[in-house]
Structure 1
Amino acid sequence: MSFSDPNETFRQEARELLEQLELCLLDLEHTPGNDDLVNSAFRALHTIKGSGAMFGFTAVAAFVHEFETAFDQVRKGQTQATPTLIAVALDAKDHIAKLIEHPDQDHDGSDAILEALRATIAGTDVVPAAPKAATPEAAPAQDAPAADPGRWRIRFRLPGDALVYGTNPLLLLDEIKAIGPCTITALTDTIPSLDIIDPEVPYLGWQVDLEGPDPHDAIDDVFLFLKDGMELSIEPLAADTATPAAPEVTAVEEAPVAASEPVPTVAAPPAAKPARTAKSGEAEAGGGERAASSSMRVDAERLDELMDRVGELVIAQARLTQIANMSSDGNLKTIAEELERLSSGLRDTTMGIRMVPIGTLFSRFRRLVHDLSRDLGKEIEFITTGEDTELDKTMIERLADPLVHLIRNSVDHGLESAEKRLAAGKSAHGTVRLSAVYAGAEVAISVIDDGAGLNAERIRAKAEEAGLLAPDAKIAEQDLWQMIFAPGFSTAKEVTSLSGRGVGMDVVKRTIDGLRGSIDVSTTPGQGSTMTLRLPLTLAIIDGMLVRVGNGRFTIPLAAVEECVELPEGIEANARGRNFLDIRGSLVPFLRLREVFGTTAPPEPHQKVVIVSSGEGRVGLVVDQIIGNNQTVIKQLSKLHSSIKSFSGATILGDGTVALILDTSHLVAFGQGYVDQGRAA
């Protein structure tokens, strides 16, 4: 039995918390008065500090403690989250990540970052010194007969699941002791008899008589993650109430005194626990269990292995279905149908596990745009849409680098400076949009900017200079835009830390090609550019339509199929199959796959046309027979077949033979070429 590395577990959780912290800080820059964002950022820091100390990352815990202390002034409203403070806090967040990932290395920048953080906070005083600090001095003159503001009584009972989730009451009491001089009394009135006691339930309550200023904020910090499901009261002690000299000795007798005060949950032990459960909205009894079981971290390798097993099961089920269809045994047919239903459900569930909202990827680029805006001195508005669009986790992981290059390219090359934008009649700040949308069997991810657009003359000149294009050669506009993805191609006048070496867009092209995707480029001079990545929804299992062309069988991704029609009689192939069908008033080009694949077998008398789409384009594929739908397990083609663009993979059919999977995006582009040639003619 293998056990996970606890340090790696901490690192994984810390990465998620740091990502949450970064998003909170970026949002806080736009809404500095948002208390929810401040509290979320503070909770992330507090969790990292506690977990870091527990797992032995002492340098992390010490740094985060100082970070937390400085940031606490923002949480208490004593200063505001200015852009300068956010920038320093983001640097501190990056430093925490380095301390976590490389704890053995020397990190000399800790003191400098913390000093910058303190100096920034000290120089951004916003709230005048008239809040809670003045209250203890003013209160004695008005309420001296009733209460002593320097003495407080705190009572608390932990949630029922606190011990189960690792809360140590003694550590909480130690934190309270650090606030000021205090006397602690255990409340034992709710402890049941020994025969029914549950060792995982915190039956003890606690009473703390504390000396010092108003402790509300400090106590909130102590119970930061528990107060939603616990009982807690903080009241000033009466001025004539003597502090018990030795309350620990009379802890049992103290409970009736507590019952005489207005704390009904302490006075009624049998009803205390049900009251907490109802009041916290199942946070104690059911909420904690649901929160613990709502998600589980699983290694990606195990998911890939599970998907492979499901793929083999789908192939075996297809073989069983084919055998059952050839048999007259009713029981066998029933079992085959039941297995098909179960395997289909298992496939959908497994695919759902692999599908991840693309918003998890989009959120990473907010920091990128924030830093680019600062480094380049450009005002940039970053807008994301379609974050709920789901994509295979494998693609999500591999899309990060291409999108980084596209966004940096848009910000650096696309968006003009504020002066040039104003001179062109635009707003001073530029806009970069990142969107995702389903498009048939694909997901279209677009990076859109409202900059100057691509310069056709400069691109052509660079292409000719690099030997990619012959002088005076005629080239379509779309083909010219594709030149920017050539290795080493760059229109930058000088090499900078952001661009100029011509390697970024090459990385984009190679990665997207490896994912069986395509890149569309469109631009309008003076108005901006759009880079659209078109990617298949999944790399594993799809629903397919099995068709026959001659003696060969092929699979068309079902999500790309719009409809099937009969090929009208009397239509002959013209000029290598350039033909059009009238589909409800729209001319749709169609390809005779027999000609595309060089099939020599005689054609069927009644051929069918499968209308498929990709993006905005449509094309009809003429086949001899539509066999039916099936679950298609995608098998990658070897490198020897990488130059064949008409196929995106292969699948194993129920009889053990292989069927090639058609690349609909390539065939649609191929068919749309006929339209362009027809218009040119």
Structure 2
Amino acid sequence: MSGLDPVETFRQEAQDLLEQVEQGLLDLARRPGDRTLVDAVFRGLHTLKGSGAMFGFDALAAFTHHCETAFDRVRKGEVPASPALVAAVLAAQDHMRALAEGRPVAAGAGEALLADLQAAVDGAPAPVVAAEPALNTFKIRFSLPADALVNGARPLPLLDELRDLGEARVRAITDTVPSLAELVPTECHLAWEVLLTTKHGRDAIDDVFIFVIDEMTLEVEDLTAVAEAAVETVIDVPAVEAAPEPANETRAKSGDTVRVPAERLDSMMDRVGELVIAQSRLKQLAGASTDMALRAVAEEIERLASEMRDTMMVVRMVPIQQLFGRFRRLVHDLERDTGKRIEMTTEGESTELDKTVIERLADPLIHLIRNAADHGLEAPEQRVAAGKSEAGRIHLAARQSGAEVVITITDDGRGVDRDRVRAKAEENGLIAPGQDLTDSELLQLIFAPGFSTAAAITNLSGRGVGMDVVKKTIEGLRGSLDIASTPGAGSVISLRIPLTLAIIDGLLVRVGAGRYVLPLSSVEECVELTTAQDLRSTGRNLITLRDELVPFIRLREEFATGTTPDPHQKIVVVSTGHERVGLVVDQILGDHQTVIKPLSSFHADVGAFSGATILGDGGVALILDIASLVGLGQRQDALLRAAG
């Protein structure tokens, strides 16, 4: 008996089917004559209806049936895949998602959506007369696994699906039913044989069983083909008695992917983190021992722990395509809301990120895309007057850069009006009138709380809420955000995001008696702060690195350690995007595999730290928030420049 909740399994599969249907509909909006897309949408709706009925989601099955019927008419050439029909099924798809998830729906919402669907179908051109397809005859034999009934599978809806395809004669096969004394009432021992005469092909039969085909036995014999060409029986999924090689290959391929609940991955990641901490402790003990055997075991455990960590990281990685795919629907809706024509393109969809990072990136990217559509792109007539194409373009791209992923959102719109940004910032008191700012600093004002240059409040923007949340979320991911813009040509917003939030490679440093970890991906270089440089920089913390002035922060003073500096202090230069700052520490202790532990709610708002980790000796080291410290260094430098 399976330990998985069959209802939850169906919901997961339903989400996949709804995602496939949505992507097919969005493609169909661009290519309404593509028969492959029409068939794909129909199969998705058909499977969702059948699976919903099988698992007791009767409201979902009944509602989906109407959408399936509409697309069946499209398949038959009776109505076209018009924009109105695609829009109606997209709206209906949102209702299906709510029904599948068990969320409450407004009274009459389903009826209103079906009325829109019927209006879209009725408003289509007259039917196209097509030749009546020839009838096919199939002999179908199938049986379900013994635990099918316990897991929620129901054979009667499958038989009803076959009857819907044409004329079906059904015979129950009782050969394997045990005696009453041995009968287990929760197990399925029946098989069924169906003689089906239908105008549909073999694919329609496969669609009936698509949700349970991996665990059942199915034999399909094309009697029409046998009569016409005397060909052999075709067996797609092997029976228990006979397992031909092609069928075995099919079954093997179906097991290549295993669906695992996310909480199990999180639990495994926690165990791997504890293993890394224990391995660090073992390494420290072995280093203090003269026992060579202990050292050898410690090195082997370190290698295995490192490999397990890397493997676990890979398991948690998912393609960013899962995230980018959601935004096609968003852009489709933005076209309707703004009255603009928008073309969205993507690049680097195979780039992978930790699943937790993917989930937390969704809202920031939605804000940025909406902002590009509403503020960035011009109306069609304005674009034509400016010599541009009528349709505006939004391009999403992702690429891996070391231990980070860089995501860019590019539009070819009007660009940022610097004068307007400055005027609004002065009006809001964010900057002093006439204050000297670099172009980067000016553009960063867009992400200040409450900042908006919109002329009017709309349902998309204008309230100054969103862009500051974007920045906070990205910095909460230990990432950074940069913006570049060319007036009249568009804007590019770049996000730099760490690959994972669970375990990082860090640089362990000492400040006073405390130990701290810096994410190694943010460290550029380490230099010595000589006594002469320390004395010269008093009052203005700047150091020259390759003809460039870099501000630095004395962490000993920032953290109020109350200790005297070491005679040989070090400056660790860190960066977020284009901004750099030096952090003065007393000692660099070396690299450290860092298992990130969240701070308590009491300490969560302390800006200088993003988490904590347990060291090999059982002590705790705080993880420095690089974005916060870089911002602090830049602000201190700006104040000194203004005063000096």
> Shorter-normalised TM-score: what interval?
0.7 to 0.9
- Displacement after TM superposition at 1:61 (Å): 0.9
What is the distance in 2 between the residues matched to 1:604 and 1:517?
A: 34
- Displacement after TM superposition at 1:401 (Å): 2.0
State how 1:132-531 maps to structure 2 within 5 Å: 133=132, 153-158=137-142, 172-181=158-167, 183=169, 206=193, 208=195, 210=197, 219=205, 222=208, 231-236=219-224, 262-265=230-233, 277-280=244-247, 282-284=249-251, 286-288=252-254, 290=255, 294-299=258-263, 302-531=264-493
Deviations 1:416-462 (A, max 9, x none): 10111111121111111223333444333332211111222222332
Residue-pair matches, total? 627
Query: Could you tell me whether the CA contact under 8 Å between 2:512 and 2:556 is conserved in 1?
Result: no
- Displacement after TM superposition at 1:91 (Å): 0.9
> Helix, strand or coil: the match of 1:659?
strand
Moved more, 88-97 or 638-647: 638-647
- Displacement after TM superposition at 1:523 (Å): 1.7
- Displacement after TM superposition at 1:314 (Å): 2.3
What is the distance in 1 between the residues matched to 2:239 and 2:460?
A: 62
Deviations 1:448-484 (A, max 9, x none): 2111112222223323333333434444433333333
- Displacement after TM superposition at 1:363 (Å): 1.5
Query: Could you tell me whether the CA contact under 8 Å between 2:54 and 2:154 is conserved in 1?
Result: no
Query: Could you tell me whether the CA contact under 8 Å between 1:382 and 1:431 is conserved in 2?
Result: yes
> Helix, strand or coil: the match of 1:407?
helix
Question: Is 1:558 aligned with 2:520?
Answer: yes
Structure 2: which 5+ residue stretches go unaligned?
Answer: none
Deviations 1:202-255 (A, max 9, x none): 997846274x76777865654566899955344559xxxxxxxxxxxxxxxxxx
Moved more, 589-598 or 456-465: 589-598
What is the distance in 2 between the residues matched to 1:540 and 1:93?
A: 35
Query: Could you tell me whether the CA contact under 8 Å between 1:442 and 1:614 is conserved in 2?
Result: no
Query: Could you tell me whether the CA contact under 8 Å between 1:421 and 1:427 is conserved in 2?
Result: yes
Query: Could you tell me whether the CA contact under 8 Å between 2:10 and 2:51 is conserved in 1?
Result: yes
**1:65 partner letter:** H
Query: Could you tell me whether the CA contact under 8 Å between 2:286 and 2:295 is conserved in 1?
Result: yes
Match of 2:56 in 1: 56
Match of 1:247 in 2: none
What is the distance in 2 between the residues matched to 1:532 and 1:6?
A: 42
Q: Structure 1 residues 338, 504: CA separation in 2 closer, same or farther (over 3 Å shift)? A: same
- Displacement after TM superposition at 1:595 (Å): 7.6
What is the distance in 2 between the residues matched to 1:624 and 1:278?
A: 68
TM-score, normalization by structure 2: 0.81
> Helix, strand or coil: the match of 1:522?
strand
What is the distance in 2 between the residues matched to 1:184 and 1:475?
A: 80
Match of 2:497 in 1: 535
- Displacement after TM superposition at 1:535 (Å): 3.2
Q: CA RMSD in A?
A: 4.6
Match of 1:579 in 2: 543
Deviations 1:32-91 (A, max 9, x none): 344443333223222321232233322211111111111112334444423222111101
Match of 1:245 in 2: none
Q: Structure 1 residues 654, 352: CA separation in 2 closer, same or farther (over 3 Å shift)? A: same
State how 1:10-159 maps to structure 2 within 5 Å: 10-102=10-102, 105=105, 107-125=107-125, 128-131=128-131, 133=132, 153-158=137-142
- Displacement after TM superposition at 1:415 (Å): 0.7
Q: Structure 1 residues 573, 304: CA separation in 2 closer, same or farther (over 3 Å shift)? A: farther
**2:491 partner letter:** S
Match of 1:651 in 2: 613
TM-score, normalization by structure 1: 0.77
Query: Could you tell me whether the CA contact under 8 Å between 2:170 and 2:192 is conserved in 1?
Result: no
Query: Could you tell me whether the CA contact under 8 Å between 1:565 and 1:609 is conserved in 2?
Result: yes
Deviations 1:355-398 (A, max 9, x none): 33332222211111110111211010112223333333333222
Q: Percent identity?
A: 52
**2:71 partner letter:** F
Query: Could you tell me whether the CA contact under 8 Å between 2:420 and 2:453 is conserved in 1?
Result: yes
What is the distance in 2 between the residues matched to 1:653 and 1:415?
A: 51
**2:385 partner letter:** A
> Helix, strand or coil: the match of 1:498?
coil
Match of 1:140 in 2: none
Query: Could you tell me whether the CA contact under 8 Å between 2:413 and 2:490 is conserved in 1?
Result: yes
